[in-house]
Amino acid sequence: MSTGLFRKLAAAALLVGVAVTLSACGGFIGKGNAKANRPLTSAAVTKLASMGSSPGAPMMVRIFKESSELEVWKQTSAGDFRLFKTYEICAYSGDLGPKIKEGDRQSPEGFYTITPGLMNPNSSYYLAFNTGFPNKFDRAYGRTGSDLMVHGDCSSRGCYAMTDEGIAEIYALARETFKGGNPSFQLQIFPFRMTPQNLAKQSKSPNMAFWKNIKEGYDQFEIAKIPPRWDVCDRRYVFNATGPAGTPLDAVAACPALSQDATMVAALKAKQAADDATFETEVAYVSKKESAAVAAAERDAATQAAAKARGEAIGGFFNGIGSNIGNLFGNAPQEAAPVETAAAAPIPAAKS
C-alpha cells in the first residue's frame, strides 16, 4: 500500500462516526459562556488557511513533559497533519513516567481519545478538557485516577496547566474541530521527544519498556504525519493494527494475528533499527561519561582526604613543637631553693 493511500485511509478513519450527532456532547460549547464560545482570532484562521487547513478540519494534540510543550496539529487538504502552534505548559504535576494511582500526583502519559463530552466549559481553571485517563491501556494495569485535565490557571495537581490565553485558543480549536463533524481528536502524551538520545539519558528508568512501546506510535506519526489508530492487547499499545474481523482487541489477552500496512511496517522497522543503533551508542557514551564522572569524584574525594590528613598531621606536629617550647621556657620544673636550717651560730673565741 502506498503512503498516499495509507494517509487517505487513515484520514477516513478519523471521520468514522460523523453520522453520530453531537447531542451527546454534554453541552461542551457552554451556552452563554463567553469563554467557551470565544471565536478564533483572525490571525489563527489566516494561519490555518495558509497551511491548507481550516477551523473545522481534524486536529491532534501532543504533549511533551520534559520541555513543557503542547503542540496542536491540524489536518491539511493533502490529508497529512501539520504543526499549527506550540504552547508553553505552565506546570505539570509529578515526574517523568505514567500515572499509576489516584493521589500519586502524577500527570498521565500515553494515547487518549478526546470527545466532546470530555470538554469542560465551566472549569474552575478557566477552561479545560479531560484527558480521558484511565484509558483502555491504563485500566489493563488497574491504574486509577480521575479528573486529569488540560486546563488554564497555571496550577497543576496531576494535570497539565496552561495559561488562560493558551487554553482559550486550544479550546476554541477543539470546539471548531467538533463543529466540523469530527467525533474526536487524539491526545498523545510523552515524557520527552522520543529520540534515541533522550531515551539513552533515561536508560536505567523502570519506565523504559513502556516508553519504547509508546515510541512505536510516536514513530508512526513521524513517518506518516497521520495520528495512528491505537488499541491494546497483551497489556501493550498496538498501532494501526487490526484484529480478526476488525473487532476490538482484548486489552489483557495475548495479541491475535494482526493485520498491518506493509509499507508502514517496513518504514517503522527501518527507523527503529537506526534508532536502536543510535540508542546503544548513546548509552555507551552516557555510561562512559558517568564512569568518568565517578572516577573524577573519587579522585577529588581522595585528594581532599589526603589534604585533610596532611593538614591534621602538620597541625599535630606544630602543636607538639608548641608544647615543647612552652615546657622549655615556661613550664620546665624549677630546682628547689636551698632551705636554711636553724643551726646555732658559732661562739666567738675568748680573747686573751
Closest-CA residue to 100 (of 56, 59, 141): 141
Tell me, yes or no, if 255 is annotated catalytic.
no
Distance between CA atoms of residues 175 and 185, nearest Å = 11
- Quick one: cell of 267? 518504514
CB-based burial label for 268 (10 Å; 0-12, 13-18, 19+)? buried
Cβ atoms of 148 and 158 closer than 8 Å: yes
Name which of 174, 293, 229, 297 is nearest 9 in CA terms. Answer: 229
The answer to whether residue 90 is catalytic is no
Question: Would you state the cell numbers that stand for residue 331, as one nine-digit string?
Answer: 613550664
Are 248 and 35 in contact by the 8 Å Cβ rule? The answer is no
Among candidate residues 90, 159, 233, 255, the one labeled active-site is: 159
Q: Indicate the SS3 state at residue 234.
A: coil
Return the closest-CA partner of residue 40 out of 126, 129, 169.
169
Catalytic residue among 151, 154, 233, 255: 151
Rounded to whole angstroms, the Cα distance separating 263 from 1 reads 6
Of 291, 47, 32, 62, the closest CA to residue 188 belongs to 62
Identify residue 309 by its one-letter amino acid code: A
Pairing of strands 128-130, 119-120: antiparallel
Question: Would you state the cell numbers that stand for residue 337, as one nine-digit string?
Answer: 631553693
Catalytic positions are 151, 159
